[in-house]
Structure 1
């Protein structure tokens, strides 16, 4: 009995007991093999934006098939001119499990907001989505594609690691919402 409590044999025996315990633990612990993506309900943020934003808000008319809304965040801040701004970011896991984000703000200058959201200030052509022209931007080192649309009262940016077809599909779902009073 003494040889299992001292020296190399004691160490080896203790290690085998520990490994056997870990093995039993792994066998009896339930393991989920299904993907879990946290889903958010962004309808409250849409209502708050429609009430608080000084511009008409753009939101998806519907969630695309197999897409999951994963984040929604409304913030108020100050732009470079000291004016209060309202920004909303809505993130999705796409059907191909890439990331896509809609960002909109009345921040001025509009180019500053667009450049920050797109991580690029260099247009690379344009793309027509449902008859509307969007400016294309691509940042290779981040694998980030962006569609930018500057309107008189709001700047829209659809961006992420999703491919152009998925970003275009998301941009096509955007509909202007009426202002709540």
Structure 2
């Protein structure tokens, strides 16, 4: 009987393969830390400011332990420019800030919030933001419609975290 034949040979080959995989896993470095890519949005905000006829809103400073992880400028309905800033919050939920002068403003707000139903208001820095909640997506949204722009903060983050981002928003001078 040869070593490579029969059940005994199969068992030895299987053991050698499993031992090799075990050694590989032991010597391969493994990180237990999460890695969320951090993306600077300052250039995107500046570029957006050059394309719109109003002062752009953006966070004066990011909330503590939040990671800005996406940003882009896109075309919304009727060709209006839309700025998106995405975050992983301190509780590692998702939050996104969007703004546009798209008309009608109610349509933009409803599209960003995935609902047109207001559920209440939230005071942030003495300013009332409309709350919207879409239960099936666990999506909370804060909406503020201004004469020249609509601001929406939305995501799976809780109301307090969304309010924290809203409190940091500041309008930059036009141009």
Instruction: Supply the distance in 1 between the matched residues of 2:132 and 2:162 (Cα, whole angstroms).
Output: 12
Give the total of aligned pairs. 175
RMSD: 1.2
Residue aligning to 2:67 = 68
Unaligned segments of structure 1, at least 5 residues: none
Deviation at 1:177, TM superposition (A): 0.8
Equivalent in 85, 91, 97 of residue 90 of structure 1: 85
Residue aligning to 1:10 = 9
Instruction: Supply the distance in 1 between the matched residues of 2:159 and 2:77 (Cα, whole angstroms).
Output: 32
Residue aligning to 1:127 = 122
Runs of 4 or more above 4 Å deviation: none
Instruction: Supply the distance in 2 between the matched residues of 1:117 and 1:77 (Cα, whole angstroms).
Output: 11
Instruction: Supply the distance in 2 between the matched residues of 1:122 and 1:18 (Cα, whole angstroms).
Output: 59
Secondary structure of residue in 1 paired with 2:131: strand
Unaligned segments of structure 2, at least 5 residues: none
Secondary structure of residue in 2 paired with 1:63: coil
TM-score under structure 1 normalisation?
A: 0.92
TM-score under structure 2 normalisation?
A: 0.95
Instruction: Supply the distance in 1 between the matched residues of 2:85 and 2:43 (Cα, whole angstroms).
Output: 12
